[in-house]
Every structure is written in C-alpha cells, then in structure tokens.
Amino acid sequence: MAIEENFDKEILFSSKTLRIADLGCSVGPNTFFAVQNIIEAFESRYQKHQELNSRIPEFQVFFSDHTSNDFNLLFTSLPQNKPYYAAGVPGSFYGRLFPKASLQFVYTSVAIHFRSEVPKEVMNKNSPAWNKGRIYYIYSSDEVVRAYKAQFDRDMEKFLQARAEEIVYGGLLVIVVGGISHGTHHSQGHGGMILELLGTCLMDLAKKGIVSEDKVDSFNIPIYHMTPQEVEAAAERNGCFSVERIEDIHHVGSDENNSLSITNAQEFASYIRSGMEGQIKKHFGEEILDVLFDTYKKKIEDNPSIFKSGKALAFFILLKRNAIN
C-alpha cells in the first residue's frame, strides 16, 4: 500500500534497476518474506501504470547488518527462485553504507531501537546519570532517561543524514520498530519491562557471587524505546524527508488487549536469549548464560502477570526523500 500510493511512477519507469536495502536484516525467513512483499508491491504498481513498450525493472536487494551477522547462513537460506539479485553490505547504518543517490527504497524493521553505543554518562561513576544497579533506564533517574534520549537524537541524526545521501529524490524510507505511544511512561512499555526483568536476574547472580556487582554496574543495554513522535521530530530536524504516514501496528505476540501473550516461559526466555546473548556473553562471559536465562525463565513462571500491565506497541513510519536538501 505504501509503495502503491507514495512511490513516484516517474522513478519506476525511468529506472532499469530498482535498488532496495534492508538495514539491520535478520537471518531468518521473515527477512525474505519482507523483501518478497516489497517486490510484489513494486510489480503491482508497475503493472497498473505500465506504459507502451516499457519493461519492468530488475531488482537488486542489499541485505545489511553488522559484521557479526551470519551472512553465510543468510545467503545459504536465500529462496532458489528469488526475483532479485542479492548482495550483503556489512556495517553500521549509523553511517554511510551506499553511494550517493543509489537506492530507491530502504526498509528497516525492529532495528533502530538499538543505539550505536551506551550513553557515556550512564557508565561514568562521577556523572549524575550513572546507572548503578540497573542495566536499563525505565526505573532510573531522569538524568539517565535524558542520557538515553540524547543518544537516540544523535543516532537518528546520523541515520537520517546517511539515508538522505543514499536515497534518490522521491525514494522511500520505511521504518518498522517497537516503541511506546506518546504520553506513555517508559516503565509501562513491554520492551522496557522485559529488559528490566533481565537486569534483576543479573543482580540476583551478583548477590550469589556468580558475577561481581561492579560487573553488573558497568553493563547497560544500548536500546531506546522511542515514540512515533520522536522519530517524526528527528525527521523534521533533518529536513531531507517528508513524513508521509505514521501507523500503529498490532504488536506481534500480543493479544486483543494489546498486552503480550506468554504461554511458555521457556520459549520466551529462549527468545530473549537469542536477542541478548551476544551482548551478555561479550561482557560477562559465556559461562553465566545458562544460569542467567534459567533464572529469567523462573521469574516469568513466578510472575506471569508482570507483562500484562504494560503496553505492547510497534509502529510503521513512511518517509519520502525531498527534492530539496
């Protein structure tokens, strides 16, 4: 629908190759489903407006993520009859990844909530924003919250400026990300609750002497759950994109009341482990992983209602590259 209504047909018919980038791609099947849906939308747009003797462009898809991503697994999983040429682009999307004006469509899903780094203030014992005893910010002081927000603002400025240089005039940038609704306190979001619970598990391990308290104090998670309005404000400050659409999306895994449905504690603990294992292993070592996530599973079993009071939200934002810098 976004491509049908917002993608300029002049770009479609003047391009021999349409270049699409998936930033922060995963290695699972959802990556390929998303790309297939994007290409089918372009094909539908073309077929409805095709001109005499015109031919549909070829598609080139760039899958981009950090160098730690398993690109070998990604490429061995590529669909055999894919209607596009595939390439991998390693690197951080908080900097340039592609030549100027080389992309017509950029897509990122469940990725830009990751910050480029933990705010330096929360790691400094002499700072008012030192986040002692916690690994996240939802129950921390206002100084900690402001430090995370400032890091988000800096990162989004870099992200949007890089995309502004890479996307052609009239090209589209689609952002899908989990966050919180405007006016909702950070402590009421599911994402924050999930990470806060993990922090209490680490403190339990510190009390048992499995890890040191100093080690926990020096660990913070570089994630900021934003509101749609914060992304919109970042785009307005950048000035290179118009905000075409903002929509709330029913969060995957949530019930009709928009609260997260957890039916299997072990499955959920494994899901969180898959997303957080790399950061925890790097900081604490591999040896704590099993006991940490076993503790996490037990806390979910003992307190299943912890996720019922929060609010699960994902949102879709469509930005269009302006013709004026």
Percent of the chain with pLDDT over 90: 68
- Whether 254 shows a pLDDT value over 80: the answer reads no
Confidence of residue 259 (pLDDT cuts 50, 70, 90): very low
Tokens standing for residue 130: 């030192």
- Whether 47 shows a pLDDT value over 70: the answer reads yes
pLDDT of amino acid 124: 94
Mean pLDDT score, 46-74: 85
The three-class DSSP label of residue 87 is strand
In a domain, residue 5? The reply is no
d(Cα 123, Cα 312) in Å, to the nearest integer? 29
Percent of the chain with pLDDT over 70: 91
Expressed in angstroms, the distance from the first to the final Cα of the chain is: 27
- Whether 74 shows a pLDDT value over 90: the answer reads yes
Neighbours of 307 (CB within 10 A): 20
In a domain, residue 185? The reply is yes
In a domain, residue 308? The reply is yes
In a domain, residue 227? The reply is yes
The helix or strand, by DSSP H or E, that contains position 213, with its residue range, turns out to be helix 213-217
Instruction: Give residue 242's identity as a one-letter amino acid code.
Output: S
Confidence of residue 325 (pLDDT cuts 50, 70, 90): low
Burial annotation 232-252 (CB, 10 A radius, 16+ → b, else e): eebbeebebbeeeeeeeeebe
- C-alpha dihedral (293, 297, 302, 305), degrees to nearest 10: 110
**Which residue range is the domain that position 212 belongs to?**
92-321
- Whether 12 shows a pLDDT value over 80: the answer reads no
Confidence of residue 75 (pLDDT cuts 50, 70, 90): very high
Tokens standing for residue 256: 């009709």
- Whether 255 shows a pLDDT value over 60: the answer reads no
pLDDT of amino acid 257: 46
User: Which pTM value belongs to this model?
Assistant: 0.90
Q: What is the pLDDT of residues 263-312, one digit of tens each?
A: 578 888 998 898 899 899 999 999 999 999 999 999 988 887 765 655 66
The helix or strand, by DSSP H or E, that contains position 164, with its residue range, turns out to be helix 142-166
pLDDT of amino acid 306: 64
DSSP states along 192-245: HHHHHHHHHHHHHHHHTTSS-HHHHHT----B----HHHHHHHHHHH-SEEEEE
**CA nearest neighbour of 311 among 223, 169, 200, 194:** 194
- Whether 262 shows a pLDDT value over 60: the answer reads no
d(Cα 235, Cα 182) in Å, to the nearest integer? 17
In a domain, residue 261? The reply is yes
**CA nearest neighbour of 318 among 170, 173, 105, 168:** 173
Mean pLDDT score, 45-64: 81
- Whether 13 shows a pLDDT value over 90: the answer reads no
In a domain, residue 177? The reply is yes
Confidence of residue 28 (pLDDT cuts 50, 70, 90): confident
d(Cα 312, Cα 179) in Å, to the nearest integer? 8
C-alpha angle 208/212/215, rounded to 5°? 140
* β-pair partners for 18: 59
In a domain, residue 309? The reply is yes
* Lowest model confidence (mean pLDDT) among 2-16, 95-109, 198-212, 311-325: 2-16
The helix or strand, by DSSP H or E, that contains position 280, with its residue range, turns out to be helix 265-284
CATH number at residue 192: 1.10.1200.270
> 137, 131 in Cβ contact below 8 A?
yes
d(Cα 206, Cα 215) in Å, to the nearest integer? 9
Domain count across the chain = 1
In a domain, residue 249? The reply is yes
Instruction: Give helix 265-284 / helix 190-207 axis angle, nearest 10°.
Output: 60
